[in-house]
Amino acid sequence: MTQHRRIIGLALLTLGAAVVVSLIIMFSFEPAPPIRDPLQVSEVKLESVPYMQRDGYVGSDQCRQCHEDQFHSWHASFHRTMTQLAGPETILADFNDVALQIQQRDYHLTNKDGQFWVKMENPDPNWPVEALAKSATATDNANPAEVAVDSAPVNKRVVMVTGSHHQQRYWAESEHGNALTLLPFAFLIAENRWVPADAIFVMPPQPAESVRPGKWVGAWNHNCIQCHSTGGQPFYNETASIVDTRVGELGIACEACHGAGQQHVDYHNGETSCKNLPDHFSKLFNPATVDSKQASQICGQCHAVADLDDSACSADWLTTGFRF
């Protein structure tokens, strides 16, 4: 009987230890939060920001269904938060009745029930959408196009955020599709303060015109989109003076380094159109399985200096975006 009790006691002790270890493991690894629709996070009007859907791209939430571990490590990175919709959860700067000034131009920042606004000179009147084409091939710091600006102040809603590590930049809506207007200030996160944007880049001294609001309409759509989004396509309509930018996903997500995933997903889901394809069609690019030169080229898409070499390349880029 004593031996029997010892066996039972040992079994209970082992079971208890297993439960304790399981609980430790469970609470040591915080699961990535559920994917939420961007509108539920920020309530930003989607027509005012880049359209988050591009043919061939599926988005990181699709990747998560089979690659939970990889999704978790990416979700905790600054790559994910490089570009986000504006909202109380993403804006780190103080917008509570803040007055800023640069080159004798005034900017008044406010936070109205979780919506972030800036009162400034109106950058939109007569802004020529062809400025995007000129900007794509600009070789100096000159203004890409003459833009007539109405000096009467207007309220513009901040709809998108760039950065989450050292600094943040803020983008306001415009009247030209989803072209975005850059505020000429940066918020330094560690120092918790606003600074003029031209103070954080190593550049020659800029004239007063460099901070004129109309100069930076569409800057994200033709420039920042190249590295701060996944699968970006500027898409501009010069005739209608409308920008219809789209991305596979905001921020630097799975498909920025592995390529568009629709064919991969269809193949593994057994879609009829993919059943007869050879195995290599199901595989995405994996930098870990290639030599260092190829792997560095993937990082070099953004972590290197590149420029479009002729007008034909620029025209193609402004419509189709870069190909992986």
What are the distances in angstroms from CA 183 to CA 103, 179, 198, 216, 294?
13, 13, 11, 8, 37
Query: Would you state the pLDDT for residue 297?
Result: 87
Residue of higher predicted confidence among 13 and 25: 13
Query: Would you state the pLDDT for residue 156?
Result: 93
Average pLDDT rounded to a whole number, residues 220-233 = 89
Is residue 243 a contact partner of residue 176, using CB atoms and an 8 Å limit?
A: yes
Is residue 232 a contact partner of residue 243, using CB atoms and an 8 Å limit?
A: no
Highest mean pLDDT among 49-53, 255-259, 262-266, 311-315: 255-259
Phi, psi of 15, deg, nearest 5: -65, -45
Which residue type is seen at 286?
Answer: N
Residue of higher predicted confidence among 43 and 198: 198
Give the integer Cα–Cα distance in Å for 51 and 37: 13
Least confident of 134-143, 180-189, 207-216, 293-302: 134-143
pLDDT one-digit tens code per residue, 268-314: 887 656 556 665 566 788 888 889 888 888 888 888 876 666 667 77
Give the integer Cα–Cα distance in Å for 238 and 245: 13
pTM summary value = 0.75
Is residue 60 a contact partner of residue 67, using CB atoms and an 8 Å limit?
A: no
Average pLDDT rounded to a whole number, residues 65-77 = 93
Rg, C-alpha atoms of the chain: 24
Cβ atoms within 10 Å of 64's Cβ, excluding its own? 19
pLDDT one-digit tens code per residue, 116-173: 999 998 876 655 555 555 554 444 444 444 444 456 789 999 999 999 999 999 999 9
